[in-house]
Amino acid sequence: MPTPAHTSIAEIVAAGRAILATEGLDGLTMNRVAEATGVRAPSLYKHVSNRAQLVRLVATAVIAEVGSELDRAATTGDPAGDLRALASAMREFAQRDPHGFGLLFQPLPAESSLDPAVYAAAAAPVLRVTGELAGPDRALVAARTVTAWASGFLRMELAGGFQLGERVADAFDYGIALLADAIGAHSDRTEHTTPTR
């Protein structure tokens, strides 16, 4: 009698992650993951109760991966340089894994929703760098501004939305450098403004 195939949460998440990267969120099904891990669907259900939990596990892995890449990128010691490095790391991730990138900004069904701490951990490098540029009181608004610009730019780039020639990378570098300068300059003005009575 053959030994039944076994799998683990780590193998399931790795298989789901690979399926997401090639087939997108719609392709991430219990049957596809069972097939990729070499087990029957009932064996998969011993580890993952349903597709909602599978999506949650894979999304958590994607966001943690992005957070780690951002953390490794922001090491120049110069806040403006770190912001440019963060943006470049995000662009590299988006180009390497468009489906994973899309998942970062896609609302998940309520039953797959993630713990806010997962997002907070991934955002920590961005908040640290924007806090250094803008000051701690403006770290979150600066981080949201940068994230909104970068995600919008990258979605347009992935969709082939820039059709007027020249290097798209130059526009991306220009935009993030402009944002870094503006955030730093705004912080300087705020710090040196004397309140009027």
pLDDT tens string 3-14: 445 889 999 999
pLDDT tens string 125-175: 999 999 999 999 999 999 999 999 999 999 999 999 998 988 999 999 999
Tokens of 18: 């690979």
- 44 in the same domain as 129: no
- 186 in the same domain as 125: yes
Cα–Cα nearest to 143, from 191, 98, 195, 79: 79
Q: Is residue 197 part of a domain?
A: no
Q: With a cut of 80, say whether residue 187 has pLDDT above it.
A: no
Percent of the chain with pLDDT over 70: 92
Count of structural domains, the chain: 2
- 6 in the same domain as 82: no
Model pLDDT, residue 12:
95
Mean pLDDT of 31-46: 90
CB 141 within 8 A of CB 190: no
Model pLDDT, residue 148:
96
- 68 in the same domain as 18: no
Instruction: Report residue 188's pLDDT band, with 50, 70 and 90 as the boundaries.
Output: low
Q: What is the mean pLDDT of the chain?
A: 90
Model pLDDT, residue 107:
87
- 109 in the same domain as 33: no
